[in-house]
Structure 1
Amino acid sequence: MGKNTGTEFILPVLLVTAFCSANVEIRVGIPDVSRPWDEARTYCQEKYVDLVTWDIVDSDWLVQEFGGSGDFWIGLHKEPEKDTWKWINVKTGKGLTGEDVSGNGNWGNLDLLSGDCGTFVLERKSWFRQECSRPLQFICYGDNLVLVTENKTWEDALSHCRKMSTPSQRYDLLSLTSPASAYVRDKISRATSEEVWMGLRFLGDEWWWSDGAELANKEMLPACPSRWERCGTMSKNHKENWITRDCSEKRNFICYHKSTA
């Protein structure tokens, strides 16, 4: 097994993908346990977010950081009744998504093994198929985001996030550098409201983030908003800009946390 098993790394999403704020972090870990594929995924969903996929984490980074050797479950599965392989759907937590990756150059020799679940062999930097019932270690990913599916006003949402803070972790409404955040938009897809509150607020003739950061792209928002639309949301479907809303309206919201150490 890999030499760094039972450990994890935390990195800004910006290092792994190209679409997020530095406030969003990805946590990657190899738990020091072995499970069949289905149980491994359940473990990841309970303690992290899901099994890792290459849409979330770069495989070269993974090899560099974890090193060692070993065969680990990842979020790759053969489609039932078909001879195609796809990544798991981390947006919904169920099923498969994306294009068929059966011909991807990352595969090892498919004829050497059988099985409907995918593994990653660190020392060979390749994917292999294995019988899903085989107990193996596995690679999970998590993040520092919390989607709250309760409807609250902006002020109450801010208070809710901050009350989750601990001596080691500070919570706040999420601040972003860009509204075109595919990772965060996927994260809020399970919200029960069409839009979710962000940490965006108009105060003292300026737009600010609730964590104290000044808004970088002020041209995206009205310079003199209506007194009724001075708080910002992100939509699950509208991808271009943040949306200004009445702060007294009630909707879901998304928090983030950072270490205070």
Structure 2
Amino acid sequence: MMSILITLMTFLRFLLFLSAVGTAAEPGSALSVEHKHMKFGHNWKDAQKFCRKNYLDLATIYNQEHANSPFLLEYKAWIGLHRGKQNDWEWIDGRDYEIKWASNEGKNNGEKCAVLGYRYNNRKIYSRDCEMKSFAACQIINSSSTTITQEMMSWSEAKEHCMKISQELATFTEEEMTVFSQQDFPIWIGLHRHDSSWKWSSGLQEDKYWKLEPSDNKDCVTITSVTKRLAVENCQTLHPFFCMNDNVILVKEKKSWEEAFEHCRGLGLNSNLRFNLLSVKPGDEHKYVVNRVTEADTEEVWTGLRFLGDEWLWINGKDVSYTDLLKCPPLGRHCGAISKNDRSNVAARDCLERKNFLCYSY
């Protein structure tokens, strides 16, 4: 009798919650993943550290369709503009070209060197710390012919590099900025050799799609900015890199499904954000979530899937897209869990089992 009462009370709370959240815009999807293209250079390990400190990790790229979607065409390259002895901005050829600064750039006294920033056909100049690692725009002396190096270096290293090939860091008028065009350059992602196989940095799940061949001293992987092809590289090479972040929280406490539900809801009490148990779509999104739960203390983690009345539903009101769920699950096995070792299905489990769980913010 008591268990029936608890189930009824839970059901009523869900009805109130569903009426509040309304109808889903996208079936099953509460996961939000954002990517950040960092345009300065790090080796692979330092890029991983940066992404883990400031975001979640280096990006995971599941397949070619996924690879084609991010915009990676932006780049920045050192040019022949820097602060001189009087701390004024000077071109290295001594000329007085007008400087097309981006908004609020060129004012920080701690930034003494300049880069050209390219985005589509939008070209602006930015001030930067001279020790930042960036591409170099080398120019044939007394010519507008300019090339962008694929190596990343400091401003002084860039100046020296250009001189070694009998060129100089680029100088130009505002009209001549059009010589800067789209470039196809490598960008670090989270795939690397680990324990003799290719694995993703986020969760160390083994890659099953790209089937890259091992190569001597090349244990890390880049994606090219234009052609979106993956290639193996020496991990010590300096490249731009691609971070990712999401709205998922893995809670490594062992709770029943209902306790997990209440825990997630309670996370937003002192915040402008709200939280709930996570809903998931099958396919790439499910695989992404499996990568996120590899650090869980339990083999399976609770999601927001619940069997109520005579159907499975996500408690946030999203549509259920999984087609292989039990139509009539055994009594008690009315809650949905994702396993570390199943990259496609959600399993029906006894709601009183104690597991880690996934919350999300919105």
Pairwise CA distance, 1:43: 1.5
Could you tell me which residue of structure 1 aligns to residue 69 of structure 2?
61
Q: 2:289 aligns with which of 180, 184, 189?
A: 184
Could you tell me which residue of structure 1 aligns to residue 51 of structure 2?
44
TM value normalised by structure 2: 0.50
Pairwise CA distance, 1:199: 0.8
**C-alpha separation between the residues in 2 aligned to 1:217 and 1:93?**
25
Task: After superposition, give the CA deviation of every residue in 1:24-51 in whole Å (9 maximum; x if it has no partner).
Answer: 2321102365322211111223333322
Query: Which structure 1 residue ranges, 5 or more long, are not aligned?
Result: 1-19, 104-109
Could you tell me which residue of structure 2 aligns to residue 221 of structure 1?
326
Answer whether contact 1:37 1:73 (CA < 8 A) is retained. yes
Task: After superposition, give the CA deviation of every residue in 1:147-193 in whole Å (9 maximum; x if it has no partner).
Answer: 22210111221122222337553321111344893222232233221
**Are residues 1:144 and 2:247 paired?**
yes
Distance 1:204 1:90, change over 3 A: same
Answer with 1 or 2: which has the greater Rg. Answer: 2
Answer whether contact 1:53 1:87 (CA < 8 A) is retained. no
Could you tell me which residue of structure 2 aligns to residue 73 of structure 1?
188
**C-alpha separation between the residues in 2 aligned to 1:216 and 1:58?**
20
Counterpart amino acid of 1:211? N
Could you tell me which residue of structure 2 aligns to residue 10 of structure 1?
none
Could you tell me which residue of structure 2 aligns to residue 171 of structure 1?
275
SS in 2 for 1:196: strand
Query: Which structure 2 residue ranges, 5 or more long, are not aligned?
Result: 1-26, 75-118, 121-182
Distance 1:21 1:34, change over 3 A: farther
**Are residues 1:156 and 2:259 paired?**
yes
Distance 1:21 1:183, change over 3 A: farther
Task: After superposition, give the CA deviation of every residue in 1:103-152 in whole Å (9 maximum; x if it has no partner).
Answer: 9xxxxxx9xxx966444442565556665444443111232222222101
Q: 2:312 aligns with which of 200, 207, 215?
A: 207
Distance 1:72 1:250, change over 3 A: same
**C-alpha separation between the residues in 2 aligned to 1:156 and 1:75?**
34
Which deviates further from its counterpart, 209-218 or 194-203? 209-218
Counterpart amino acid of 1:60? N
Pairwise CA distance, 1:216: 5.5
Counterpart amino acid of 1:150? E
Answer whether contact 2:37 2:72 (CA < 8 A) is retained. no
Answer whether contact 1:199 1:210 (CA < 8 A) is retained. yes
Answer whether contact 1:53 1:88 (CA < 8 A) is retained. no
Count residues in correspondence: 224
Pairwise CA distance, 1:71: 4.5
Counterpart mapping for 1:219-258 below 5 A: 220-223=325-328, 225-226=330-331, 228-238=332-342, 241-258=345-362
**C-alpha separation between the residues in 2 aligned to 1:44 and 1:102?**
26
**C-alpha separation between the residues in 2 aligned to 1:100 and 1:217?**
28
**C-alpha separation between the residues in 1 aligned to 2:346 and 2:232?**
42
